[in-house]
Structure 1
Amino acid sequence: MATVPAQAQEQQATAQQLVVDLGTRTGEFRGAASGALYGLSDEGVPSDNTLEPLRLTTVNQKPPAGAQHPNGDALVVAEPFFRTGGDYIQINVQDMYANWTYENVGGVIPCNQVCFDNYMQKLAWVVDQVSNSPYADRIVYVPFNEPDGIWYSTGTGNAAQYQTRMNALMNHWKAAVEYIREHHQGARVMGTNDALFRARNYGDFLTFARDNDVLPDFTSWHQLDSTGLNPLHGNYFRTNYQTYRNLERERGIAPIPININEYGGNRDLTVPGQLLQYVAMFEEAKVDAGGKAYWTAAGLLGGDVVETNKPGGGWWFYKMYADLAGADTVKVTPPTATTIDKLEGIAAIDDSRRQARIIAGGGTATDFDVVINNIDPETFGDTVNVTLSATTWSGQNSDAPPPLVLRDQDLAPENGSLVIPVRGLGVHGSGGPNIDLMSAYEIVLSPGGAGSRQPVDLPWRASYEAELATVTAGTIQTFGTPANWNAAATSGSRHVGNLTQNTSAVTFDVEVPEAGAYRLSILYGNQTGQPSQQVLTVNGGSAQFVDYQATLNFQWRTRKDVVIQLAAGTNQIRLAKSHPELGVAVAQASLDRIDLERLSGGTVTRSYEAERSQTKGDVTYEYDNHQQSGAGHLTLKRGGEAMFSVYAEEDGYYDLEFRHNSPGRPGSITANIGLDRRPVDGAVLRANPGGGTFFKTDRHRLFLSAGVNRVTVQPAANTPVRLDRLSVTRASNAPTVRTVEAEAATLTGSAAVQSHGYASGGQYVGWVGQGPQNRLSFQVDVAQAGDYMLVVHYANDERDTGHVYNADIISRPIDFVVNSADATRYWFKNTWSWGNWWARGVPVTLKAGTNTNTMYNDPANGATASGCPTPCMPTLDSQWAPNLDRFDLAPIRVN
């Protein structure tokens, strides 16, 4: 059995093992567990860039005009969801009520006739809205949410109470389902949607529903807390799944698709290693779909999308998961479960691509081995290219770069087997083991032996937990443990808070291999509502204030990066409330962890191998050219497409180099390049036949938005395009991006200049909205007509009256008018604070010469609902635009 060379090979005998059998297939990859409850907020929030690569199947949203939340109307988010590949949307009908756990009109348990009559009035209105919408056949009704606790309390242990309550629920289920199916032909329903799976409840439900012809189209329940992963606990999914299927068989009911439409505790969300615990079980059982639970704020895909367009570590995990599409899953055997959090994995093989992919991790703070058996030489050849990558937790509101490549090499299996040692993220220093525990690792197998490999040269890194540092006048607090599963995830399960006294400080002793520049990344929380500060000193030298944006709460982590100079050997990094010379920092922040990374000073180039891209249409995978980079390349034929999820650290110009071979008349256009599903004028690949070099490069300089950018390559004619690689580098000599301060624009009506210390130039414009008369406009002159990116820097912290356990944030729209064109509406997500200035890029088309850009918020352009039963939200849109700081304008493509 061949083993990947590793420095820690001597640990192999004691390492845990995850065994993958490529010869035992377990069915077609389902890939439907990446949904989320209230994961979408508005048109473009989250962005299409972040939705399409995840290949979502379903999400769960509120019904039209539902009063439970101020945004996320199913019929409002339907268009962006379906155009990015979604299949169906669930709606919780009871979200028509404003207050969770829903107003009980009758005031008793179970829901009495007064209560149910009120509900049926609302249900009738929802069915009318949905059945007459363009999306009628793609909406699934969830009549009741968690009835074992809400309205019916069928989770009771009292037998008499249970029977009374279950009878009421079943009679109401029958009436609701019959109404839906009578008034919405072809409608589908889901239930009973209990918070906990109980065999008693679901057995009685199935019997009643079978006998009364009201079986659901999808069976659903929730798997919320981490104890749901414990085989000794009644809420264990694998046991629940088998028990439920047995209940169906005993009653002669054909298997009904299962949807676990709420899964994960707050400690699990955004953490790749924790999310994998659930997804691996769901994929093993081939559940129809699964969706992350909702604990804090809507419109973030369960926290995996940061701001509007930036991916967190959880997003990259679900991208790994989505990349298994089109394959067959294979048998994976994890170690025997002895703890709640444990090593898990998903694996699949794709014959047409000649690739196998494995996702492993979670639950282990120690090294582990992935043992891969039955590697077929007919598929992979005598040597196999093995690429090992990792993505780890980045906090709840920090973006993350693409997974870090740890190894890329060709190996010769022995007797059809390989052992791949997984040895962490190359992290040094003392920071506790949980960084690995929070990670997910991807292994990709492809045919080896041809082409060149990217050298793996990892920069030196180290991580240090705040609770393990020297803490002065602060409090170490624990969050996100199995016993505290509804608290947000925390690195090491602890942070340091209450750093409010002038003497408060956290001092880290760090050791680095060489002197030079290091990136210091501070993972913190700040719930003060405005930016806060701490004083940073290194080795007792000059002090500086570090500014922290506000976060949703002290448990939510985001990252602040600072470049510091360190000496070789031992150094001391201190973050404090005050300094005798600099003074006292503004407000406070909690500290979770610091990360250090040695900076090389060179330009970073990210490479995206074509054979790893997401493809559709007529595409073949080739592995036989010795000039190819990576394991292989693609041949795109007419109708084929390769899509790359390109990451940009910040808004700006990047050089995109497309390595390809395209036959045809020299210089002719053979492929078109698209950005975010829009063709880029002038960005094409040209034929380059013949010559000693098989692959050649076309370079294009494009303006990319911070976060995810969808870059597509499509053949322009019948000539095939052989695509090898896309390389992306931040442009070093790019043209200056034009900037217009909002306070320099022309203001009309109530629009007014305001002051804020963290706004660009110290000022911004507020009170734009409540009609087009209260607007902002400015003119720009451009030499060339074409497509431009207008980056809007804004702040928005509008919220609804509040919710028992979430923030009820509200997005604000802007109606954009360029010259005399019709207004186009874009939505700007809540920024957690009026002092956080975020950015969103808006595409505009300008003419040569002078262009007038006008911005306002006209409520008449928004989505409204009339005639809905009280309570509901008759107007779903904010009447104000966000506060506007500045605008950056740049052509999408420059020569």
Structure 2
Amino acid sequence: MKRTALASLAAGAAVITAGLTATGPPSAVADDDPQRIVVDLAERTGPVKHGAHGTLYGLSDEGVPSDNLLEPLGIRTASQKAPEGEQHPNGDALDVADSFFRNGGDYMMIYMQDIYPTWPYDDFGFQDYLGKVEQIVADVVADPHRENYVYVPFNEPDWIWYGLNTDDPAEYERNRDRFLADWKTVVEKIRELDPGARIAGPNEAYYDRRFLPDFLSYAKKHDVLPDVMTWHTLPSDSLPAYRGDYAHYRQLEKDLGIGPLPININEWGGNRDLTVPGQMIQWMSAFEETKVDAGGQAYWAAAGNLAGNAVQTNKPSGSWWFLKMYADLSGETVRVTPPHPSELDTLQGIAAVDDAKRQARVLVGGSGGDADVVVEGVDPALFGDQVRVDVRSTTWSGQDADAPPPATSSSRDVEVSDDGTITVALRDRDVMSVHEIVLSPGGAGSHPDTDQPWSASYEAEDAEIVDGTVYTHGTAEDWNEHAASGTQDVGSLNKPTSSVTFDVEVPEDGRYRLGILYGNQTGTVSQQVLRVDGANPRFVDYPATMTWTYRARKDVALELDAGEHRITLAASDPVLGAATGEATLDRIDLERVPADASRPITYEAERARTADGVRYRYDEREQSGAGYVAAGRQDTVTFDVYAAENGYHDLDLRRAGGMSSLALNGAAVDGTRTKPTSARRGWTRDRERLFLSAGMNRVTVTSTTGRPALVDSLTVRPADGPVQTVEAEDAGNELSGSAVVEEAEHASGGAHVGGVGQGAENTFTLNVEAAEAGRHLLVVHYANDERDTGHAYNTDVISRPADISVNGADPQRKYFRNTWAWDNYWAVGVPVTLEEGANTITFSNDTGLWSGYAPKLDRFELAPIRVPAG
């Protein structure tokens, strides 16, 4: 059976050498003639653009996805629907604007034709559309973010309304002239109503070498040039053509004497690409290389999940971590020479050097196997005589399966030789992965433990299959099918005799985590029977997923003896009987669970997000990583911290010097002000016990005095604390109006509360006691599968809002994203401020929005944000 390295260890071995000649690495480094990609730190190509990772309908509602997922990515542009648009039930530009712009957004494109409900757009005549344009502009002009919007008046006119893609020359001329006249009318109308408006177009579905010369000539002559040039690159074959198309367009501008206009490739990639780091880097490296203003991941599935990179509302996927690696690039990009620049599914890269931070970062991926990353121009004046080289990787985790922070697989100091070259040899790479290589001054500090628990992966299509079918997904020819590990999965496991048996081998006795990557489109919880070596059958429950190929992960704990085993997932069992429903299987992962299952994670300050005034230092102070940072008054250092589960965690801040305080997810945490210390006495550890949300959390250290605060690292580990758990159906809670307790097999207590909303009188009130006054986190476990099912291919899920009032005060509105099924239960954290003693928390919904109901309420966890550390 084919066995591959597990996602978290996809880097394999990284062999780092220095002083190699330009002809390539010696045979001792690689015997199999690995691919070679060259990074020249001496050849700067301009400031990092950070434009390649925008999204179309990546946001659906206020807080969906969470600020914790948005802010670290620094997404500059997004495209959303017109105000009051009916194309989709959510994603209104004006509704998500606050969320987008407070998290670093630069501008938002408004798809104006999404005012219509039908795809392709209803054609009720141009005058009907012109009236809607006036309505949209009036709404935008009244919005406080009006200067940050860009109007997109037409979407894919090559085939919608105008037929610019016709093969008939005479018909093309007629269609072209009609579009150009309508373009002129709409642009002039928008500018009449909004004199400062920015307009983008023509926004065709592909780069159109026939139409664009005509369009630009006409637009220049009539003074209706777009402010932003847009087109789409969606199928796989558009990626190899991109650099040529870009060069053609820039030459066209020169020939016509216009521009250069900023370019936004506001829809790129198919389902085979999105969520897969090794695919995404191929597109994003091309966009960053050509310095287009922005690029947006296409919208093929559901709104509100950042094109599939956000899991639930607050959890990162493997591809989210890649986007964060991209966002962490700073300074100036440098020349990267891949072995095959414009060939599909080949090794590509992005690299940048930051003089102020004294760091270089290199991202590579796009193919599997062995590769040598040759870094040239390593300047001793910037990095010193020794260079520290750290390597880590991230890979596809499944579209709806979260992933922990990438672990460091290699960390070494190397001497910089006279030719200034370092080669990082990456071996046995996962084709779906991206590797991050960070160079910084070496010779000081300490290196992390790179030993990780044993792990391995096994593809379902290579297992022993009985009464099931192997399907192929996400190839270049099948570019809009969702990706699958190994490009195949096993489905149609719906017969009583259906089963998939994996032959595995583990190195030692102990506990293992079995991760099952599956799909379940039944609309409810499905099952399979799990057997190990033919014995001890048990049912495995699979929560619903969006489609059969939209993967989630089910984790199961196994006790295994060292040696070979057979793991079977079956539709039935002689003892247990038939499983409910069915599921598709992509692969299984086995990972050894260490004796200390709650291993701490250390986040280094020199890798954190910092304010502009923060200084980076690499002198020897016995720091935990390569260096540390010095933050002046009001300067900030933000750590993006992952928590596997909701709960308390101990946060150990290693620091020295001036005073500082902590904020969690943008809110100051009372009582966390540190005392000044003498830097000469070494580092001090301050421990705080805080309640973290499952997924991502932003922990910000703010220097509060003129004396610089030296920050080395933040170490995070799970801890215990006082958490109240309350079932929604408990007798102590209050239901009014139509609110009712409903039996629910998969709810935590066998029931949940529904019927909240659709009128102010239909409420649910949670009665709780607080040991002390102050900020708490209320974790709401809920289900929601409300949908608008009219779209041709998008899954138009609806987020249900709830207005949450504490002790009768003005409510805060929280949106609860769709969970794919009424018996799938997800969790969202809601900050609340409680009084000491008895408190009431009331849920209602009288909003008159797409959904007038609150979600089904299952259970609640309530905990103070901060408690004394043990």
TM-score (ref. length: structure 1): 0.93
2:856 alignment partner in structure 1: 883
Given the alignment, which residue of 614, 617, 629 partners 1:619? Answer: 614
**Which residue of the other structure, out of 154, 170, 173, is the alignment partner of 1:163?**
173
Q: Please say if 1:92 is aligned against 2:111.
A: yes
Q: Which amino acid aligns with 1:628?
A: Q
Map of 1:574 onto structure 2: 568
Q: Deviations over 1:421-444 (max 9, x none)?
A: 11246xxxxxxxxxx110011000
Counterpart residue number, 2:8: none
- 1:865-894 CA distance string (max 9 Å, x none): xxxxxxxxxx64310000000111000011
Mapped pair 1:410 → 2:427: no
Matching residue within 194, 198, 222 for 1:188: 198
Structure 2 counterpart of 1:330: 334
Deviation at 1:779, TM superposition (A): 1.5
Asked if structure 2 preserves the Cα contact closer than 8 Å seen for 1:312 and 1:394, the reply is yes
Letter in 2 for 1:716: T
Q: Which residue of the partner structure matches residue 865 of structure 1?
A: none
TM-fit CA distance, 1:858: 1.5
The answer to whether the aligner puts 1:683 opposite 2:672 as a matched pair is yes
SS, match of residue 190 in structure 1:
strand
- What whole-Å deviation, never above 9, does each CA across 1:557-584 have from its counterpart, x for those lacking one? 0000111122222111000011111111
Please tell me whether the aligned partners of residues 530 and 538 of structure 2 are also in contact (alpha carbons under 8 angstroms): yes
2: CA distance, partners of 1:569 / 1:174: 72
Work out which of the residue numbers 385, 388, 397 in structure 2 matches 1:385: 388
2:374 corresponding residue in structure 1: 371
What pairs up with 1:620-769 in 2 under 5 angstroms? 620-663=615-658, 670-689=659-678, 692=681, 694-731=682-719, 733-744=720-731, 745-769=733-757
CA-to-partner distance for each residue in 1:231-268, whole Å, 9 max, x for gaps? xxxxx110110000011000011200000000001110
SS in structure 1 at match of 2:306: coil
Q: What is the rounded CA distance, in whole Å, between the counterparts of 2:216 and 2:634 in structure 1? A: 46
C-alpha contact (below 8 Å) 1:790/1:841 kept by paired residues: yes
Equivalent position of 2:816 in the other structure: 828
Cα contact 2:727–2:858 (8 A) shared by 1: no
CA distance in 2 between partners of 1:359 and 1:418 (Å): 15
Partner of 1:428: none
Partner of 1:148: 158
Counterpart of 2:38? 19
Count, aligned residues = 846
Matched, 1:247 2:234: no
- Aligned counterpart for 1:533 among listed residues 517, 522, 527: 527
Q: Which residue number in structure 1 is paired with residue 230 of structure 2?
A: 220
Relative to 1, partners in 2 of residues 1:644 and 1:2: Cα closer, same or farther, differing over 3 Å?
closer
In 1: Cα distance, 2:767 partner to 2:341 partner: 64
Q: Which residue of 1 aligns with 2:403?
A: 400
Distance 1:618 1:245, change over 3 A: same
Letter of the 1:771 counterpart: G
Match of 1:3? 17
> In the TM superposition, what are the counterparts of 1:491-510 in structure 2 within 5 Å?
491-510=485-504
Aligned-pair distance for 1:136? Answer: 1.0
1:248-647 aligned at under 5 Å gives the runs 248-325=253-330, 327-337=331-341, 339-362=343-366, 364-414=367-417, 415-424=419-428, 436-602=430-596, 603-647=598-642
Question: Aligned-pair RMSD on alpha carbons?
Answer: 1.5
Deviations 1:335-382 (A, max 9, x none): 1258521110000000000000000011x2211110000100000001
Give the Cα–Cα distance (whole angstroms) in 1 for the partners of residues 779 and 729 of structure 2: 12
1:209 positional shift:
0.4
Aligned match of 1:82 in 74, 91, 101?
101
Flag the 1:518–1:253 CA change in 2: closer, same or farther, 3 A: same
C-alpha distance in structure 2 between counterparts of 1:358 and 1:195, whole Å: 32
For the residues of structure 1 that align with 2:27 and 2:585, how far apart are their CA atoms? 32
Q: Is the 8 A contact 1:743 1:765 kept in 2?
A: no
Is there any run of 5+ residues in structure 1 with no aligned partner, and where?
Answer: 106-114, 231-235, 426-435, 664-669, 860-874
Aligned twin of 2:133: 123
2:220 pairs with 1:210: yes
Partner SS, residue 596 of structure 1: strand
Q: 1:23 & 1:712 partners in 2: Cα distance?
A: 34
In 1, the alpha carbon distance for the partners of 2:445 and 2:435 equals: 24
CA distance in 1, matches of 2:623, 2:185: 63
Which range moved further: 885-894 or 330-339? 330-339
Cα deviation per residue 1:65-113 (whole Å; 9 max; x = unaligned)?
00101001100100111111101110111001101100112xxxxxxxx
- Pick closer, same or farther for the CA change 1:550–1:7 going to 2, 3 Å: farther
User: Per-residue deviation at 1:2?
Assistant: 6.6
Task: Say whether the 8 Å CA contact 2:744–2:750 is kept in structure 1.
Answer: yes
Bigger mean CA deviation after superposition, 822-831 or 506-515: 506-515
Shift of 1:737: 3.7
Amino acid at match of 1:78: A
> Aligned pair 1:175/2:185, yes or no?
yes
Partner Cα separation in structure 1 for residue 99 and residue 16 of structure 2: 47
Looking at structure 2, the residues matched to 340 and 220 of structure 1 have their Cα atoms a distance apart, in angstroms, of 22
For residue 91 of structure 2, what is the aligned residue in structure 1? 72
Q: 1:638·1:719 contact (CA, 8 Å) conserved in 2?
A: yes
Quick one: distance in 1 between partners of 2:31 and 2:412?
19
For the residue of structure 1 that corresponds to 2:260, the secondary structure is coil
SS of the aligned residue for 1:656 comes to strand
**Helix, strand or coil: the match of 1:845?**
strand
1:111 matched to which residue of 2?
none
Q: How far apart, in 1, do the equivalents of 2:368 and 2:708 lie?
A: 47
- 8 A Cα contact 1:673 1:714, kept in partner: yes
Secondary structure (helix, strand or coil) at the match of 1:165 reads helix
SS in structure 1 opposite 2:678?
A: coil
| Counterpart residue identity of residue 735, structure 1 | P
Offset at residue 453 of structure 1 (A): 1.1
Shift of 1:448: 0.4
**Alpha-carbon separation, structure 1, partners of 2:551 and 2:442:** 41
Give 1:686 shift.
2.2
Partners of 1:347 and 1:754 lie apart in 2 by: 55
Percent identity over the alignment is 52
1:290-331 deviation per Cα after TM superposition (whole angstroms, max 9, x unaligned): 100010111111010010001111111110000013x10000
Task: Give the aligned residue type for 2:824.
Answer: N
**AA aligned opposite 2:17:** T
1:819 corresponds to which residue?
807
2:292 & 2:36 partners in 1: Cα distance?
A: 26
Once residues 663 and 78 of structure 2 are traced to their aligned partners in structure 1, the CA distance between those partners, rounded to angstroms, is 27
Distance 2:748 2:827 in 1: 12
**Under a length normalisation based on structure 2, what TM-score does the superposition of the two structures give?**
0.96
CA contact (8 A) 1:370 1:420 kept: yes
Q: Could you tell me which of 793, 809, 816 is aligned with 2:797?
A: 809
Deviation, structure 1 residue 142: 0.3
Query: Residue by residue, what CA displacement relative to the aligned partner does 1:578-601 show, whole Å, maximum 9, x if unpaired?
Result: 111111111000000001111112
| Partner AA of 2:546 in structure 1 | L
Opposite residue 818 of structure 1, the aligned amino acid is V
> d(CA) in 2 for partners of 1:7 and 1:493?
34
CA–CA distance in structure 1, aligned partners of residues 721 and 730 of structure 2: 27
* Superposition deviation, residue 716 in structure 1: 1.6
Q: Within 2, Cα distance between the matches of 1:407 and 1:386?
A: 8
Task: Point out where structure 2 has 5 or more consecutive residues left out of the alignment.
Answer: 1-14
The question of whether the paired residues in 2 share the 8 Å contact of 1:39 and 1:300 is answered with: yes
Partner of 2:9: none
> What letter is aligned with 1:676?
N
